Chains A and B, each alone.
Chain A
Amino acid sequence: MTVLAIAEHRRGELREVSLELLAASRKLADATDGGLHVGVVSGDIERYTERLNREDVDVVHTVAYGEEFNHDVYTQAVTQLVEAVEPTVVLAPNTVNGLDYLPAVAERLDIPIVTDATELSYDEHLTVTRELYGGKVETTLDIDTQQAAVTIRPGSWPRAGGTGDAEISAFDARIDESAVRSTVTGFQEIGGEVDIAEADVLVAVGRGIESEDNLEIVRDLADALDATLAASRPVIDNGWLPADRQVGQSGKTVSPELYIAVGISGTVQHVSGVRAETFIAINDDPNAPIFEVADYGVVDDLFEVVPALTEQLTRS
């Protein structure tokens, strides 16, 4: 069978998840001795194609139309590309933009879509593994159709390496401009006074802190360590800390020497943004996914452990 992988780029850069997509696609194509086709739409397609031409890529289809991602253009181009290439599976990254067009492609072609795959296999039919309930449960789904659309979770496959000798094929997509009904007018970076990515020590606080007033105990801990205060999404959504403090997919990726997660459950969106040398988690839920990535943990009430820790550190 043939697998078609649609690469992702943003503001002039191919996104690294595109290379993970190639690895996932290759594995799937290999399961049936099939071909790996890659699609790249808009922007500097020549430069992107050079990077996408990795080992075992058979064909790179390029669509020269516009610069930045536009979901109306992608929906039309990828729908036509699927009709032309006739892949068994069309894959895209499970990113904000991947989810912004692939469901429309699936709807137009009347093929099933499964998102956020963490494993893929093919044995007479496609089997997708994905998480439910914030990662506490996994499920497998069998899809018994001629074609399917799947988005893959970033960070779940290695990046494809090597240099390939793929055929480069310009695909003549017919873009109906009257069906382009959204216009990207610009980008805005969310900055602030603090760059948490630069910090050596981060004390990060999550939903478990319960109220803005309670932030005081984590501020005290951060002060005792001369650390920078960071947060997971719910704290930012509630307006308790500014957006420049957010760790995770939507916010910043951080790589401190020490990361202390306080009352953070550990969604994939959060933990994918942390590469700490030493990772400590304090949470009262023993099954919280944060303990899967932590080096050291305490399963207890943060309102007791955090002040006790601050006390210990201040004393020493």
Chain B
Amino acid sequence: MKILVTITETESVDTVFEIDGLEIDSRYLSTDLNEWDAYALEEAVQIAEDGGGEVVTATIGPEGVEGTVRQALAKGADRAIRVWDEELAALDILDPLTKATVLGAVVDAEQPDLVFTGVQSGDDVFGATPVALASTLGWAWGTVVNDLQIDEVAHVHRELEGNLEELTDVERPAVLSIQTGINQPRHASLRDITRAQQAEIDTRSLADLDLDVDAIASPIEQTDLYEPESEGEATIYEGSPEETATELAAVIEETGVIR
């Protein structure tokens, strides 16, 4: 079985950061393999290890994301595709339908049996790309999957709110968005990391995928970026651990929960 896994590099802001216009300077940002994608990748790699097959990753992003792509290669992906060019770089934001269009073209070119994605990315948290991608392809889909068995169909557990799971059978081919906790993502060995450093990453432009700039035009414009005003009214205690612990103990005693 051939599984394509979408891999995103996510950014997180440092404790102290500054916003300049519509951007946060990269020195205040840390990057990593998107947490959800790590679980999607592990699920695909385990299926390929158990039953044979190939795991191919697809990433939209500039050359700078190759470190993250290599993390995915070190954790068991067989090949990696990265899509980027000047037209993508010129976009204001990469919205879900744009991502779905680009990733859909990669799927068309690769013809996998299944596509795994993370449920969402940790930085912009759109959570809409998996279903938009399935719709672009005309495929079936299953989202927020935290348990998966594959035979003629994909038997999935979908994690709903409030400790409830929906049991659903999804026809194939399908796009499945994978929830954290479905497995335990592996740590790459030093040997795997070294191998991944030397691996070739297949880089493609929109033209390579038979897409033109009109296909990725987005009507969504970012107009502001700011730190939300604090609405918190917490009393913050300062001092040594002993001092703050004494303050907290007094608060706890005041609540009357200690009987």
Contacts and interface: CB of A to CB of B under 8 A. Distances in A.
A233 B244 CA distance: 27
A106 B15 contact: no
B249 A309 contact: yes
B236 A298 contact: yes
Contact of A145 (B100, B219, B248): B219
B136 interface: yes
Interface in B60-86: none
Interface string B5-26: 0000001110111010000100
B200 interface: no
A312 B245 contact: yes
Nearest to B92: A141
A140 interface: yes
Interface stretch (B48-56, B107-115, B139-147, B189-197): B139-147
Interface in B74-108: 93, 95-97, 100
Interface string B158-172: 111111111111110
> Which range contains the number of B residues in contact with the other chain?
35 or more
A137 B128 contact: no
A311 B132 contact: no
Interface in A102-123: 102-104, 106-108, 110, 112-116
Given A139-B222, A237-B181, A308-B242, A96 B143 contact: yes
B225 interface: yes
A131 B120 CA distance: 14
B23 to A, nearest CB: 11
Contact of B161 (A127, A181, A249): A249
Given A96-B144, A183-B169, A137 B227 contact: yes
A186 B168 CA distance: 7
Interface stretch (A22-30, A46-54, A212-220, A275-283): A275-283
B123 A133 contact: yes
Given A142-B220, A182-B169, A308-B242, A104 B163 contact: no
B257 A201 contact: yes
B237 A296 contact: yes
A71 B143 CA distance: 10
A301 interface: yes
A117 to B, nearest CB: 11
B152 interface: no
Nearest to A182: B170
Contacts of A190: 163-165
A174 B48 CA distance: 40
A233 B146 CA distance: 13
B227 A138 contact: yes
> Which range contains the number of A residues in contact with the other chain?
35 or more
Interface stretch (A83-91, A157-165, A287-295): A287-295
B213 interface: no
A80 interface: no
B223 A141 contact: yes
B241 A305 contact: yes
Interface in B122-144: 122-132, 134-136, 140-144
Nearest to B258: A225
A135 B125 CA distance: 10
Contacts of A305: 241, 244-245, 248
B198 interface: no
Given A99-B127, A181-B170, A190-B163, A312 B249 contact: yes
Most buried by B among A201, A308, A311: A308
A15 to B, nearest CB: 9
B219 A184 contact: no
6 contacts: A110-B97, A115-B126, A258-B255, A287-B16, A291-B236, A309-B248
Interface of B: 11-13, 15-17, 19, 24, 93, 95-97, 100, 122-132, 134-136, 140-144, 157-171, 180-181, 184, 218-228, 230-238, 241-242, 244-249, 251-253, 255-259
Given A113-B132, A115-B127, A251-B162, 12 more contacts: A133-B123, A137-B228, A138-B227, A141-B221, A184-B167, A225-B257, A225-B258, A234-B180, A287-B15, A298-B244, A313-B249, A313-B258
The 4 closest A-B CB pairs, nearest first, are A237-B181, A308-B245, A181-B140, A104-B135
